[in-house]
Structure 1
Amino acid sequence: MNKQLEIAIVILNWNGRSLLEQFIPNVLKYSDNATVYVADNASEDDSVEYLRQNYPEVGIVMNKENGGFAKGYNDALKHINADVYCLLNSDVEVTKNWLTPIRSFFENDKKIAIAQPKILDFKNKSMLEYAGAAGGFLDMFGYPFCRGRVFQTLEMDQGQYNDIKDIFWATGACMFIRKHVFDSLKGFDEDYFAHQEEIDLCWRANNLGYKTKYIGTSSVYHVGGATLNNMNPKKTFLNFRNSLYSLTKNLPLKKVIPLVLIRLVLDGVAAMRFLFQFKFQHLFAIFKAHLSYYWNLRKMSKKRQQLDEYKKYYVCTSIVWSYFVRKRKHYSSLVKD
């Protein structure tokens, strides 16, 4: 008889007592045959004490500092042993039997390295949610989008994504990854701090031949914006800078320079759009993102993998052109499956 797959659900926490109080009960109730951990990023509130008093069955890993999403998980997962990690945001409500189809796919297909369920909006449960929706993709210039979410346009969940599909990146809000794959990739790139480090991780996995899967027969509800709101200038800074990091690290050498140059121009167009919208903080965030990218360019270049062959990473040429010029605002109009 085959040994059952061991899943460790690991929730990263920083000053999140209210979120743990709200969402931990469902995680424990609906996560049969999985071990639940909270990785605490040096919280200053009483969230750890709350867990110890009310949920002694939850394992607690204490990180020495708040190193953000990337370092927080890297530090914590060194102390947790399981076949598969589920990296679960503290603001996610899981559903009955959510683990069953995901466990089945990992047990039956050894090529699957990373996976995510359908991500729905906790505040409007009929809508797909920004951070992951029905699986992530990139366009040619490294701009991320999802089935069910292109820029700020979100689709209603009408069962159109109740499928199983190969995707390019899985959301960090609810990412399943085999331990040996996470270890072989040396975890997340801590220079990202937060935002798009999951895209970089999935891209590096893709370059090594691993598969990332969307499993739409499993659903969770994500609050979103609990750490940084979608339109927070700090998030704008991190998203623009980290996306350039990923291009630099993961593209074949002959494609890096031309694509990064085009991307810098497109980022400038985005900055002008913020200018005309009087969103000056976001304009300066893009400017600072580029300065930070230039400052760290040499460091990022040293992290490049030695690619034996070019692996296509994008599914459409430009979502900027398609979305803003051609007014194609849904995945189905961008990509023909």
Structure 2
Amino acid sequence: MIVGLGGNTVAIFVYLRKYKESSYRTFIVSLAIVDLVTCCAPMMIVVLGLRYPINLFSIWACKMSSFLIYFMCIGSSAILVTIAGERYRKVCVPHGRQLSARMSKYVCIMDVLLGIVLAWPAAVLYGNKSVTNGQDKIVGTKCDVSDELQDTNYPVYFKKIFLLFVNFDSSFVHVRLNWETNISYEENSLLKTTKKILQSDLANIEFPPCNCSLKEDESKEEIVQNICDNRLDISRISTKPNGEETKSVESKGKPHVFRARNLNQNEEGKQEKTVAVTRLFFIITVVYFCSFIPPFALGFATFLNKEFKSSLSFAGTVAYQMFR
């Protein structure tokens, strides 16, 4: 909780102050805000629940924390799906229409609204649940599915829908971002290899004696680099009456000039940035997916063995309460 409060606050501050407006910044800030909201109220209530396991102090605090926890999971999953779609457009359709910074804000708002719509049943289902201390036979209450709805099918339906939604989203985003990261890496490697080959071929060209509009002290290697990184106006190559060719290389060409666009330093920088951003979102998705493994595993073990929780030692009970 402490790490989440500090880390998300720093992330929001840095990305809002140091980065220019973009869809990438919008997604990072949206994820940080959703996680920060969860760290503020629900986690504190969960800590109090661990401190007083059979003494529920407020039913409304229980309902609010349950709703916000489910909202965070669903909202974050929806935002990650949006990120996967945006990365697909950026990597696989780079020259097509991209998601603008303004549109990405609207999409994130829709993801948040989707989280609210799918998480509101938690506020209805959760409340007072009667529990008995196994040693002293003391009857108390804790924050869980309320006694009135415990024996109905509503909690089962809600949890099944929630698990299916989160698992599908996490698996979809994980596979899609992994695929896009590999594509970006291969394209970036091919771009660098092609540039090296072209530079090597151009370096072996023997230029005939000519009068060039380039600087007199410019070396052959600098001419090659200029051809690779800028634009060569072929129409400016002419022949003098004595048979000598005159070449001129201009940094700004016209539509009919040869352009080494894919070998341009600016294009290469954009490609490397796309790879880095896609890799970052892939790591975020992996961490997010792994965070659900412990509670899912404990829930599955409890479902298969009703005596699983009661058979745990003190250390096991502490670990169960931390990761459930």
- TM-score of the superposition, structure 2-length normalised? 0.25
- TM-score of the superposition, structure 1-length normalised? 0.24
Which protein has the bigger strand share? 1
Q: Which structure has the larger Rg over C-alpha atoms?
A: 2
Q: State the structure with bigger RCO (CA 8 A, min sep 6), 1 or 2.
A: 1
